Structure 1
Amino acid sequence: MAGELTITPFLSDALVILGAAGIVIPVFARFRITPIIGFILIGVAVGPFGLGSLVPRVPWLEHITITNPEALTPFADFGIVLLLFAIGLELSFNRLWQMRKLVFGLGALEVLISGSALALFVGLAEPLNFTAALALGFALAFSSTAIVLPISGTRTPVGRAALSMLLFEDIIIVPIIFILGALAPNAQGEGWEGLIETLWQGGLVVAVLLVAGRVALPRLFAQAARTKSPELFLAASLLVVIGASLATALVGLSPIVGALIAGLLIAETEYHTEVELIMEPFKGLALGVFLITVGMSIDLFDILTNLGSFALAVVGVLTFKALVTGILLRLMGARRGTAAETGVLMASPSETTLIVLAAATSALVLDTETARFWQTVTAIGLTITPVLAKLGAGLARRVDGVAEPTAASDTDEPRTIIVGGGRVGRLVADMMQTHAKSYVMIDTNPDLIAVAKRDGYRATFGDAARGDALTRLGVETAPAVVLTMDEPVLAQRLVAKLRQTYPDLLIVARARDTDHAAALYRAGASHAVPETLESSLQLSEAVLVDIGVAMGPVIASIHAKRDEFREQLERDGGLSEKPKLRTSLSLQDRTAT
């Protein structure tokens, strides 16, 4: 009928997804429930085993359920691609090269030992032949890149260990898929020939991407930046990540390999921060779609019917993987707390597990019923990963003997929060004590915290970049937050996060150099102190005093030069019009000093 509004299935599905992202997830956040669990539970509710099963009897439910779950798969895959792209932006080729021993040492051992142990476990638990047990064991050995890294980050010891293992898993997935094809009945060797062809073609494509990217990307983003158009900058970013992903996919490699390379290449340019910020909303929404698809695969009725079998399978897989990963990390020199937390966090199966199970089923290595059972086990594992992260963090504190961060209500007065317990953080704490100012020091390294507490500092264990650690320390009432860690990217992100949440907070940050200081000012720092500048001023002060210049004028000139540099850095950071919070001494006070 002309003029009648037709609601297409695509619009109906889009309404459900955007409703989950814009309405339901903030409700979960209000009750401090991670959005990861929120998206998965949304998938359970709107999927074919939830409200979708009632559509034949209640037709209007079609508008609040996912009518075609398979149609979401490309969007879910795109979420994984954007996640690996974001990981590449956080890395650099130098840092990746430094991690090579972890990636191809720890990562390889974790997959081989976990896969073999799990193959033995499922082979004894079910009447499976050798090939099927091996395929299932290695499928379950994978851990979730999409869920683990957003929880752990890549800068903490746990994050670095998890990243090294996950990177190897992303690399090894290609030969595993081809080996499954070679082991399939009537394969006649095509799988092995395909593997060799993919490896040489993939190596050639990766080499071309590396060479072309280093030449073309700086020019591409420079042109986009000159237009001052966010839309063009976004288009250039999507062009790079999708183009690189397609290039690797066309030769049989995983698209995420291309996405990771694209991120690494852009990380080497001066535009990586802007690219990361502009891509963040797309990554978050696409990952939300992936998590919804995970939830839609969970059949609660089937789980309740076979509760004992599912519980035994989930507990068995989690226990095997946690023990193997934790023991390997300890043997490679990791702290007990890091090994324990990483082992528990990496214990769940992964979205890659679902890919390997599908490949094994297509190759007739696994029967459909067995694959469906372990797909449900994988979905359950993905759902409880955030809970495992909490348990792992608590276990790490207990193993290391470090107490949880002190709640803000435990103190009678506001405290300055010092992020970082190293040399610079301790010096700031010394000055706070000298002037009788209350403070608390926070760091992710329990060894530093234990030594600091032994030496009389008010220090606590925690990750300022994750969760509510700073809230527990009373950041709402803190006079200032001082960032002392030597991690430029993390410092910049934390400044931006704090400035967005607490617009009036005094944020003083350590900068590696003047360029980093300007970036910190752009992110919202009240003051950024470059190490190179301070060392130059101290050298000047020492030489002037030693050659006979009076102390008072020297100190006054040093402070004047410091203010001059600060104003220049603020101008470089685009903050020349911003009202400045000044904490420096007046000229009279400087002379008196």
Structure 2
Amino acid sequence: MENSLLANAMVYLAAAVIAVPIAKRLGLGSVLGYLMAGIAIGPWGLGLISEVEHILHFSEFGVVLLLFIIGLELDPKRLWSLRRSIFGWGGAQVGFVAAGLFAAALVFGADWKVCLVAALGLSLSSTAIALATLQERNLMATPAGSAGFSILLFQDIAAIPMIAIVPLMGAAAVEGAGGGWTDALKVVGVIATLVVAGRYLMRPVMRIIAKTDMREIFTAFALLLVISIGLLMQSVGMSMALGTFLAGVLLADSEYRHALESDLEPFKGLLLGLFFIAVGMSVDFGVFVTQPGVVIGLLAAFLSIKIGVLYLLSKPFDIPPSQRLYFAFLLSQGGEFAFVVFGAAATAGIFSAPVSSLLVAVVALSMVTTPLLLVLHDKFIAPRFIAMQQRPDDEIEAQDNPVIIAGFGRFGQIIGRLLRANQIGITVLDHDPDQIDLLRKFGFKVFYGNATRIDLMHAAGAAKAKALVVAIDDIEDSIALVDAVRREFPDLPILARARNITHYYDLMDRGVTVIERETFEGALQLGRSVLRQLGFGAFRARQAAMKFRAHNIKTVHAVYPYYKDQQQMISLAAQAREELEAMFARDAEAMRTNRRGGWD
């Protein structure tokens, strides 16, 4: 294929569009999709892009843009607030994992520089894979998610000095210590110049550009800054990555940071994807073909050491036992910065070409194993922890309280507190052990158990109770309980909470007549407050809210016979909006002709 920018861009984008959806469909994630795309179009795939020089240049450009975005998102205040977990947990993870890998590598008699650089590079995990997994599973707020985020942030910072140190080690080996120190002093001088220029020149220049009111010029200046600083760092013999990161940090500390983030956010995922495509293209699978036993052995040893160290560290990191293996699997792979560290080591002459290719293949394969390990955890390990933590239902002595509340979350608690304040006895059923233990400390009579079990309902006194309040969070469990009670206790009055309008109609289908939508009344009261804030009199605001309430309830019941007919529902909803608009228009006309002040 003719080597041209547009032709290469077409190949990259076509490969991504085809491979990523397939990977997502198979549950492998987008990162592996990009890697597969790179492998497919690279020298060991279809060979559509075969020039090694162009592959390396493209990969370097992807790293430059990736590091710029990381620096742009590094808020100094946020970094300071997380300093203990970032530098404590992150430093411990990188230090202990690197030490374990370094010791294991020395056993095989390799040169200490090779062992050290390999151990440092392999101690890093993939920020893209780990954070994407946490966000997809909504686990960022869990102990494992918080620890993982802090460690990944530290790794992103630690990768910068790693990348900077590797060329110095190579220079010292070739030129002697004097040359290495000279290069180090040059780097320090350039960094000091960048910091001073960023503090005193950056803001005025960006202010001038911002006044042009041309967003594309603003973004162009940011890219110009990134490229120029990167080239400046390269001119003193350093990787462009360090300068790019510094450029991002300088922009993150400016008042224009959010404008830049909003401009670049749509491109963030694509830039990361392009980086992984380049990584996939650069993997030398010839090493795996010629030395499959060596590659598999190194991969197994690397994963065993890293997972083992991470698991041991999870306890002092305050991660609960049920999440420790998940935490270890999540960070077990090699990271995207390992490719950069190994590339710098190969350029500096620390790694030979075969060693570099072997380590790159191990890192790439470790990325492939991560989703497989997480699937293994979900299928076999997590269910065992859930079964171990499952507590048996409480033995309930016969109760004779007039009210039974099924579900004692934020909705059920308000009802229970109101009844208890008026000295009305309640029996509460819930299935959250931690919630139950907490409520018992405050004197509530709460029992652990599945409310849909009829024997528990009998023990709770359902046969004699005057009311059952269904406040269960899960809609399916709520409906199942209503069905069970209707069969066994047909005379027991049911008052239910509806999570949404469909749930509301499902409850009506079962003959429940007292139903409250969980957000409706609260939203209505807040709406009244908004009207008062805007100058409405108290009487007028209350009248508007009550009319809206009555009209809404009337509309809900009018739509109910047709709620399974989508076309009819749309027509009725449109008609209801027109009627409500007409009502408020008449109210406004009446207010103009009647100047009485209402309650005010």
TM-score by length of 2: 0.60
In structure 2, do the counterparts of structure 1 residues 400 and 43 end up closer, same or farther at CA, with 3 Å as the change threshold? same
Other-structure match for 1:522: none
Question: For 2:70, which of 76, 87, 99 is the aligned residue?
Answer: 87
In structure 2, do the counterparts of structure 1 residues 558 and 179 end up closer, same or farther at CA, with 3 Å as the change threshold? farther
Question: For 1:16, which of 5, 11, 31 is the aligned residue?
Answer: 11
Give the alignment of 1:30-179 within 5 angstroms.
30-52=25-47, 65-124=48-107, 126-152=108-134, 156-179=145-168
Residues in 2 aligned to 1:132 and 1:89: alpha-carbon distance in whole angstroms = 32
Residues in 2 aligned to 1:87 and 1:453: alpha-carbon distance in whole angstroms = 43
Gaps of 5+ in 2: 390-407, 418-430, 440-447, 449-470, 475-498, 503-517, 547-576, 588-597
Gaps of 5+ in 1: 1-5, 53-64, 405-424, 435-447, 461-477, 482-507, 510-525, 542-549, 561-578
Is this contact kept in 2: 1:326–1:342, CA < 8 A? yes
- Which segment drifts farther, 294-303 or 94-103? 294-303
| CA deviation string 1:315-374 (max 9, x = no partner) | 211121222233334324344455543332222223332333344344444433333222
In structure 2, do the counterparts of structure 1 residues 174 and 376 end up closer, same or farther at CA, with 3 Å as the change threshold? closer
Residues in 2 aligned to 1:251 and 1:452: alpha-carbon distance in whole angstroms = 60
- Which segment drifts farther, 308-317 or 240-249? 240-249
1:26 partnered with 2:21: yes
How many angstroms does 1:213 deviate by? 4.2
1:343 partnered with 2:328: yes
Question: For 1:283, which of 268, 291, 297 is the aligned residue?
Answer: 268
In structure 2, do the counterparts of structure 1 residues 173 and 559 end up closer, same or farther at CA, with 3 Å as the change threshold? farther
| CA deviation string 1:53-112 (max 9, x = no partner) | xxxxxxxxxxxx113243133333333333334334544221011222333333333222
Other-structure match for 1:370: 355
Is this contact kept in 2: 1:344–1:391, CA < 8 A? no
How many angstroms does 1:381 deviate by? 1.8
- Which segment drifts farther, 300-309 or 282-291? 300-309
How many angstroms does 1:184 deviate by? 1.9
How many angstroms does 1:380 deviate by? 1.4
In structure 2, do the counterparts of structure 1 residues 84 and 297 end up closer, same or farther at CA, with 3 Å as the change threshold? closer
Other-structure match for 2:211: 223
Is this contact kept in 2: 1:210–1:261, CA < 8 A? no
Residues in 2 aligned to 1:450 and 1:166: alpha-carbon distance in whole angstroms = 37
How many angstroms does 1:114 deviate by? 1.7
How many angstroms does 1:285 deviate by? 2.8
Residues in 1 aligned to 2:69 and 2:340: alpha-carbon distance in whole angstroms = 22
Is this contact kept in 2: 1:397–1:403, CA < 8 A? no
Identity rate of aligned residues, in percent?
A: 26
Give the alignment of 1:467-546 within 5 angstroms.
479=500
Residues in 1 aligned to 2:185 and 2:322: alpha-carbon distance in whole angstroms = 41
How many angstroms does 1:292 deviate by? 2.0
In structure 2, do the counterparts of structure 1 residues 363 and 20 end up closer, same or farther at CA, with 3 Å as the change threshold? closer
SS of equivalent to 1:51 = coil
How many angstroms does 1:313 deviate by? 0.9
* 2:276 counterpart letter in structure 1: L
* 2:280 counterpart letter in structure 1: G
Residues in 2 aligned to 1:16 and 1:212: alpha-carbon distance in whole angstroms = 41
SS of equivalent to 1:135 = helix
In structure 2, do the counterparts of structure 1 residues 49 and 195 end up closer, same or farther at CA, with 3 Å as the change threshold? same
CA RMSD of aligned residues (A): 4.9
Residues in 1 aligned to 2:224 and 2:472: alpha-carbon distance in whole angstroms = 49
Question: For 1:330, which of 286, 300, 315 is the aligned residue?
Answer: 315
Residues in 2 aligned to 1:432 and 1:335: alpha-carbon distance in whole angstroms = 33
Residues in 1 aligned to 2:242 and 2:51: alpha-carbon distance in whole angstroms = 28
* 1:140 counterpart letter in structure 2: L
Other-structure match for 1:321: 306
Residues in 2 aligned to 1:195 and 1:341: alpha-carbon distance in whole angstroms = 40
Other-structure match for 2:567: none
Residues in 1 aligned to 2:416 and 2:73: alpha-carbon distance in whole angstroms = 36
SS of equivalent to 1:189 = helix
Is this contact kept in 2: 1:349–1:381, CA < 8 A? yes
| CA deviation string 1:124-169 (max 9, x = no partner) | 2x33133332232223222234443444457741552233332332
Is this contact kept in 1: 2:97–2:305, CA < 8 A? yes
Give the alignment of 1:437-448 within 5 angstroms.
none
Other-structure match for 1:206: 195
Other-structure match for 1:566: none
* 1:275 counterpart letter in structure 2: L
How many angstroms does 1:119 deviate by? 1.6
In structure 2, do the counterparts of structure 1 residues 159 and 428 end up closer, same or farther at CA, with 3 Å as the change threshold? farther
- Which segment drifts farther, 202-211 or 346-355? 202-211
Residues in 2 aligned to 1:213 and 1:326: alpha-carbon distance in whole angstroms = 45
* 2:112 counterpart letter in structure 1: F
SS of equivalent to 2:300 = helix
Is this contact kept in 1: 2:310–2:327, CA < 8 A? yes
In structure 2, do the counterparts of structure 1 residues 243 and 429 end up closer, same or farther at CA, with 3 Å as the change threshold? farther
In structure 2, do the counterparts of structure 1 residues 276 and 359 end up closer, same or farther at CA, with 3 Å as the change threshold? closer
| CA deviation string 1:455-482 (max 9, x = no partner) | 788679xxxxxxxxxxxxxxxxx8499x
Residues in 1 aligned to 2:306 and 2:66: alpha-carbon distance in whole angstroms = 24
| CA deviation string 1:215-255 (max 9, x = no partner) | 554x267436x44x5x3454344345445555555556654
Other-structure match for 2:365: 380
Other-structure match for 1:467: none
* 1:103 counterpart letter in structure 2: I
In structure 2, do the counterparts of structure 1 residues 200 and 238 end up closer, same or farther at CA, with 3 Å as the change threshold? closer
Give the alignment of 1:435-474 within 5 angstroms.
451-452=434-435
How many angstroms does 1:202 deviate by? 1.9
1:194 partnered with 2:179: no
Residues in 2 aligned to 1:302 and 1:249: alpha-carbon distance in whole angstroms = 30
In structure 2, do the counterparts of structure 1 residues 129 and 331 end up closer, same or farther at CA, with 3 Å as the change threshold? same
* 1:20 counterpart letter in structure 2: A
Q: How many residues align?
A: 441
Is this contact kept in 2: 1:361–1:371, CA < 8 A? yes
Is this contact kept in 1: 2:190–2:233, CA < 8 A? no
Residues in 2 aligned to 1:81 and 1:43: alpha-carbon distance in whole angstroms = 18
Question: For 1:556, which of 530, 538, 542 is the aligned residue?
Answer: 542
Is this contact kept in 2: 1:338–1:396, CA < 8 A? no
Residues in 2 aligned to 1:351 and 1:168: alpha-carbon distance in whole angstroms = 13
In structure 2, do the counterparts of structure 1 residues 236 and 215 end up closer, same or farther at CA, with 3 Å as the change threshold? same
SS of equivalent to 1:169 = helix
Other-structure match for 2:506: none
